[in-house]
Chains A and B, each alone.
Chain A
Amino acid sequence: AQRVTQPEKLLSVFKGAPVELKCNYSYSGSPELFWYVQYSRQRLQLLLRHISRESIKGFTADLNKGETSFHLKKPFAQEEDSAMYYCALGFTGGGNKLTFGTGTQLKVEL
């Protein structure tokens, strides 16, 4: 079975400070990891995925298979980064089925 753990319900940082949102997964096969974000009053939307290895809005995430982690990082937090962030796990052969973590609310304070 697949499982995603986001240990922090709420993460509060000051503007300009580094951000790291933690995500650990449990899956014995080859995982596909995603970060989704939900801004206030908006839909859930894809932020980034590990297979594309790109940086979106300054965020990056590296898949560490040894530590089964996919932490989301940004060197300098901006006020507009305040949102709910979800880590999600898919797997080869699983189609579009995603297993989501419980989410981390990021609050960037001035």
Chain B
Amino acid sequence: KAGVTQTPRYLIKTRGQQVTLSCSPISGHRSVSWYQQTPGQGLQFLFEYFSETQRNKGNFPGRFSGRQFSNSRSEMNVSTLELGDSALYLCASAWDRGKYEQYFGPGTRLTVT
């Protein structure tokens, strides 16, 4: 079956702009989680969505937001971009919440100039 897909794969934005990243989970998976990966901080949890509801949120400012649609696809939005938002953004999907294997996408590389 097709894996988790993320679009776009690469993105260059300017400080102050906003950006929307998209994640399509594996068919049948209802949980989507987002992570930010940077050389300095490593992999950090952003948020988790399940059945169109945010179930968990990490320690990120309100500029980071997300949503999930009825087909389980998810988007995350970052407003008023800062240089420090440059990172690889990963999403992961799982069939359900809890002790289920999570499958990661290839990531979206965001560069803020």
Contacts and interface: CB of A to CB of B under 8 A. Distances in A.
Do A and B associate with each other?
Answer: yes
Interface of A: 32, 43-46, 49, 51, 86, 90, 92, 94-103
B50 A99 contact: no
Interface of B: 3-4, 31, 33, 35, 42-45, 48, 50, 55-56, 58, 90, 92, 94, 97-106
Nearest to B3: A43
Nearest to B100: A96
Given A32-B99, A51-B99, A97 B45 contact: yes
Interface of B is mostly: strand
A92 to B, nearest CB: 8
Determine the main DSSP class of A at the interface with B: loop
Nearest to A86: B43
A97 B104 contact: no
Contacts of A98: 33, 35, 43, 45, 102
